[in-house]
Structure 1
Amino acid sequence: MSQAAVRSRTAALSIAPLTPTIGAEVSGIHLSKPVDEETRAALREALLEWKVIFFREQDITTEQHLAFARNFGELEVHPFAPHKDGFPEVLAITHDRDRPGKENKWHSDVTWRECPSLGSVLRAVEVPEVGGDTLFSDMYAAYDGLSDEVKEKIEGAVAVHDFAHFRVLMQKRGKTPEEIEAMNRKYPKVEHPVVRTHPETGRKGIYVNVAFTQHIVGMEKEASDALLAHLYAQAAIPEYQCRFRWKANSIAFWDNRACQHYAVSDYWPALRKMERVTIIGDRPY
């Protein structure tokens, strides 16, 4: 989508790509104000084209953050992560000297859900002077770059996803076996396609990630582990990536169906305080 095409929708909105395939900064809009239908359509088009869009200098309230995200769907409540007081839909992601950053793995959000996230809207409240960037990787490009042999191996394959990391955290926090088992029943392991077809663009993208994918169904463990390791490694290829340097009141809105992200944990012991709202998606196919 060209910048001119965006301007034809609404004269106020401007798109500045960060790379040829992924990431673009959007200007000419302030998210404190209601989004009209024309602007909403232009933003959705930009998200589909660039997989992640960024906004600068957005000094907004929590209520405005939520209202903006609701333009694109219903919001989820994360059952394991801490939320902002009084706002169950807002994840409070704070790291400092006593709580080092830990989101430094390539992943797509909540793929352990039966219907994983459509997208996430992350707001920077307080960030380090240097460090704490987030990288995003284009899973369409990652799929397109696979060899024909690998594409053939994963055609029609499905993989198991699980909230294993959060289960460990529950144990460390002293949750009882009964409480953990209740969450296992509520959020059972799910199977999703190794290659997802995006419901809006129709494009294929790799849909396994090191944070939540367990194994490929019907494949011996050694073969599954080797193939998954190869697929995971594609996210780390620089040609598929963009990198965003945060400032206070910056916002990133990414499509979890088309990209993965990696929060660089290079800023300890500095404070990094973020708030995330997540939009419910549909079942992958």
Structure 2
Amino acid sequence: MNTYSQNVQPLDPCRVAIIEQFGGKIVPLEPLGAQVQGIDLATRVMPPGELIEALEHEMAHRGFIVFKNEKQLEVDDFLRASCWWGGRQLHSTHGVHPATPGGNRHIFRLSNDERHGIPGVGPQWHNDGSFVPDTFSHAGYHIIRPAENGGGTCFVHQGAAHDALPKETREFWNRLSSVNSASGVVHPVVHVHPISGRRSIWLHLGMTGAVIEKSATDGGFRLLDAAELKQLCNQYKDILDAGLDNGYAISFEYEERDCVFVDNLAVAHRASPDAHLPAEQQGLRILHRSTVRAARNFGPDNGLPLQLDIYGPSPLGEGVWQGGGVGFRWDETVPMQN
């Protein structure tokens, strides 16, 4: 394993100084992420561009930032702060739970009690919005009620995970593109992060209907077969899971009034197993999620189109080509819900 795999870039002193200039304080979480205090997310005035850029760049390098709030945010304040990042506007594609305040279509309300929110979401590693061409640049998690007995989110740095791969695996994955099982949208399995410039891996373990390899010799394309795709998904899960022991992933537990913003191209996430335990056992958990429009499409640069007809016949002959639902079931024993 490459020793560079454990490197998540430390906070940049210049950006730390800018944040402090505007009354904030940022400290690193270990091994990734950062915690911010002193920045008012409830402000109705867009913060200075210099401050936003510093925070957004730290998010790109560290993966996510946690704002510690002295009082609970209103829904509108949370959604307004979500628009500080990426494409600067909400991009909401989810269903609306009946308990969502005001029926706000931009709030994806999650809970371990179906009376209070949608249960069971995101048990496998994924990035949000893999079914749209531009994905989401960022996602926000507003903690309405943390469970008394834990149940947070695991985050993993996908640049560090890329570097942890053996050289030959990195070279193979650089030739791969995934096809979303719900929409046929095509995304690279390895990409260069638009802010950090770091090569990063990216694959949705609960919504992939096919993976295409571009030949290293003749430039042609082929589908991975079932054995190859199963191996890929298991290797992807294994390298992300390994981050919890090797210093590039964290099992993050929320505290009351936390507001977390995630760079959706820098880190993958999954719900911790405890997050889906029943409220009677774990305590009631309620979380509001927002999703932010990207500034550009997140498509392949290898000659493949941005979208293919996943519900039609395979355009590349033999191999896995599976539309609908959770796509290819790489492990029949694990829960897969988006």
Which TM-score applies when normalising by structure 1? Answer: 0.84
- Kept after mapping to 2: 8 A contact 1:97/1:268: no
- Kept after mapping to 1: 8 A contact 2:154/2:249: yes
**Corresponding position of 1:181:** none
Amino acid across the alignment from 1:94: S
* Higher strand content, 1 or 2: 1
Identity %: 23
- The 5 A counterparts of 1:255-274 are 255-266=263-274, 267-269=277-279, 270-274=283-287
Q: Secondary structure of 1:132's match?
A: coil
Which TM-score applies when normalising by structure 2? Answer: 0.72
Asked whether 1:250 is paired with 2:258, we answer yes
Amino acid across the alignment from 1:77: S
- Kept after mapping to 2: 8 A contact 1:118/1:257: yes
Amino acid across the alignment from 1:75: L
Equivalent in 49, 52, 67 of residue 61 of structure 2: 49
Distance in 2 between residues matched to 1:15 and 1:51, nearest whole Å: 14
**Corresponding position of 1:65:** 78
- Kept after mapping to 2: 8 A contact 1:112/1:190: yes
Asked whether 1:77 is paired with 2:100, we answer no
**Corresponding position of 2:292:** 279
Distance in 1 between residues matched to 2:38 and 2:13, nearest whole Å: 14
Equivalent in 135, 141, 144 of residue 116 of structure 1: 135
- Kept after mapping to 1: 8 A contact 2:33/2:63: yes
Instruction: Give how far 1:81 is off.
Output: 5.5
Amino acid across the alignment from 2:198: R
Q: Which has the higher contact order (CA 8 A, sep 6+)?
A: 1
In the alignment, structure 2 segments of 5+ residues that lack a partner are 1-9, 213-222, 301-338
- Kept after mapping to 2: 8 A contact 1:141/1:240: yes
- Kept after mapping to 2: 8 A contact 1:194/1:207: yes
**Corresponding position of 1:148:** 167
Q: Secondary structure of 2:186's match?
A: strand
Instruction: Give how far 1:42 is off.
Output: 1.8
Equivalent in 192, 201, 207 of residue 206 of structure 1: 201
Distance in 2 between residues matched to 1:89 and 1:233, nearest whole Å: 33
Equivalent in 16, 19, 23 of residue 10 of structure 1: 19
Distance in 2 between residues matched to 1:28 and 1:10, nearest whole Å: 9
* Higher helix content, 1 or 2: 1
**Corresponding position of 2:124:** 105
Equivalent in 222, 225, 228 of residue 227 of structure 2: 222
Asked whether 1:94 is paired with 2:111, we answer yes
Paired residues, number: 260
Asked whether 1:194 is paired with 2:189, we answer yes
C-alpha RMSD of matched pairs (Å):
2.0
Instruction: Give how far 1:3 is off.
Output: 6.0
Distance in 1 between residues matched to 2:12 and 2:233, nearest whole Å: 37
Distance in 1 between residues matched to 2:129 and 2:91, nearest whole Å: 10
CA gap of 1:31–1:136, structure 2 versus 1, over 3 A, is: same
Structure 1, residues 209-240: CA drift from partner, whole Å, max 9, x if none? 21222331222221122122212221111122
Q: Secondary structure of 1:201's match?
A: coil
Distance in 2 between residues matched to 1:87 and 1:107, nearest whole Å: 25
Structure 1, residues 62-102: CA drift from partner, whole Å, max 9, x if none? 11111111122111122445483342111111222777534
